């Protein structure tokens, strides 16, 4: 019971309100969705929850630069080594070539390579074998224990 006699059950959890950084990140994501371009990466709100970053391969278009400049908080555009399209294509190729070994694959956070996760049953040599299949850098995110996967068919691969 709560300490306030007017509120004997205690405080009620409130709704989480988005920060200006959350709103800026969402606005830029929406702009990217509305203006699809081959060199787009993604928008991230870094762990400090104060830094909004757009990853872009090559020179970002003037329209994007103008849009991020109008946001209520600073938004940084950083160079991405690869575009989202390039990394998704590489991830799909790796998943297809490594069925039963990889549980997931996709762009890493800064678009400098592909992040992968193995099934726990993957052989010890799997990381080296997967890296040998790609010219794009591979970042391992560990293994998913197949015994804890409720339904393996719901995972890629």
pLDDT values of the chain reduced to their tens digit, one per residue, 157 residues: 445 555 556 566 667 788 999 999 999 999 999 999 989 988 998 888 788 999 999 999 999 999 999 999 999 999 999 999 999 999 999 999 999 999 999 999 899 999 999 999 999 999 999 999 999 999 998 888 766 655 444 444 4
Q: How many Å apart are CA 129 and CA 57, to the nearest integer?
A: 28
Cβ burial, residue 102 (10 Å; 0-12/13-18/19+):
buried
Identify the domain containing residue 116 by its residue range: 84-154
* 111 and 74 together in one domain: no
Let me know if residue 15 belongs to a domain: no
Q: Domain count for the chain, please give it.
A: 2
CA distances from 15 to 8, 12, 94 (A): 21, 10, 41
For the chain, how many residues are written?
157
Please indicate, yes or no, if residue 123 is contained in any of the structural domains: yes
Residue-level pLDDT at 1: 47
Residues 96, 135: one domain?
yes
Q: Is residue 10 part of a domain?
A: no
**Whole-number pLDDT of residue 47:** 80
Looking at the fold, whether 100 and 139 belong to one and the same domain comes out as: yes
Give the per-residue pLDDT at 46.
Answer: 83
∠ CA 68-75-14 to the nearest 5 degrees? 105
pLDDT recorded at residue 153: 43
| 56 and 116 belong to one structural domain | no
The answer to whether residue 5 is domain-embedded is: no
Pair 104, 122 in one domain = yes
Note the pLDDT of residue 144: 81
User: Which pLDDT does position 3 carry in this prediction?
Assistant: 52
pTM of the full structure: 0.73
Residues 6+ away with beta carbon under 8 Å from 10: 1, 2, 3, 4
- Does residue 14 fall inside a structural domain? no
């Amino acid at each position: 019971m709560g300490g306030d006699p007017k509120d004997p059950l205690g405080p009620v959890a409130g709704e989480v309100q988005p920060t200006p950084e959350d709103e800026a990140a969402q606005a830029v994501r929406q702009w990217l969705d509305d203006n699809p371009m081959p060199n787009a990466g993604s928008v991230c709100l870094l762990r400090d929850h104060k830094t909004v970053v757009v990853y872009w391969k090559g020179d970002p278009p003037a329209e994007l630069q103008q849009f991020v400049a109008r946001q209520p908080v600073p938004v940084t555009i950083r160079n991405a080594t690869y575009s989202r399209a390039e990394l998704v294509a590489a991830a799909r190729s790796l998943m297809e070539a490594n069925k039963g070994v990889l549980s997931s694959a996709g762009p890493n956070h800064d678009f400098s390579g592909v992040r992968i996760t193995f099934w726990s049953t993957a052989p010890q040599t799997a990381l080296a074998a997967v890296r040998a299949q790609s010219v794009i850098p591979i970042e391992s995110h560990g293994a998913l224990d197949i015994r804890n996967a409720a339904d393996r068919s719901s995972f890629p691969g």
